[in-house]
Amino acid sequence: MNIFRLAGDMTHLMSVLVLLLKIHTIKSCAGKSYPCSLCFILLESSSGISLKTQELYALVFATRYLDIFTDFISVYNTIMKLIFLGSSFSIVWYIRRHKIVRRSYDKDQDTFRHFFLVLPCLLLALIINEKFTFKEVLWTFSLYLEAVAILPQLILLQRTRNIDNLTGQYVFLLGAYRALYILNWIYRYFTEPHYVHWITWISGLVQTLLYADFFYYYFSSLKNNVKLKLPA
Partner 1 sequence: PHITVEHDEL
Site residues (CB under 8 A) for partner 1?
5, 9, 12, 67, 71, 73-74, 77, 80-81, 84, 130-131, 136, 139, 181, 184, 194, 196, 200
How many CB atoms within 10 Å of residue 119? 11
Instruction: Give whichever of 40 and 189 is closer to partner 1, judged by the CB atom.
Output: 189
Instruction: Give whichever of 13 and 30 is closer to partner 1, judged by the CB atom.
Output: 13
Instruction: Give whichever of 99 and 131 is closer to partner 1, judged by the CB atom.
Output: 131
Question: What is the helix, strand, coil percentage profile of the chain, to 5?
Answer: 75, 0, 25
Q: How far is the CB of 14 from partner 1 (least distance, A)?
A: 14
DSSP three-state, residue 211: coil
Instruction: Give whichever of 46 and 129 is closer to partner 1, judged by the CB atom.
Output: 129
Helix (H), strand (E) at residue 145? helix 134-148
Q: How far is the CB of 153 from partner 1 (least distance, A)?
A: 20
Q: How far is the CB of 131 from partner 1 (least distance, A)?
A: 5
How many CB atoms within 10 Å of residue 8? 20
How many CB atoms within 10 Å of residue 223? 8
Instruction: Give whichever of 140 and 167 is closer to partner 1, judged by the CB atom.
Output: 140
Q: How far apart are CA 88 and CA 53, in angstroms?
A: 10
Nearest to 166 by CA among 84, 46, 59: 46
Q: How far is the CB of 84 from partner 1 (least distance, A)?
A: 7
Q: How far is the CB of 80 from partner 1 (least distance, A)?
A: 5
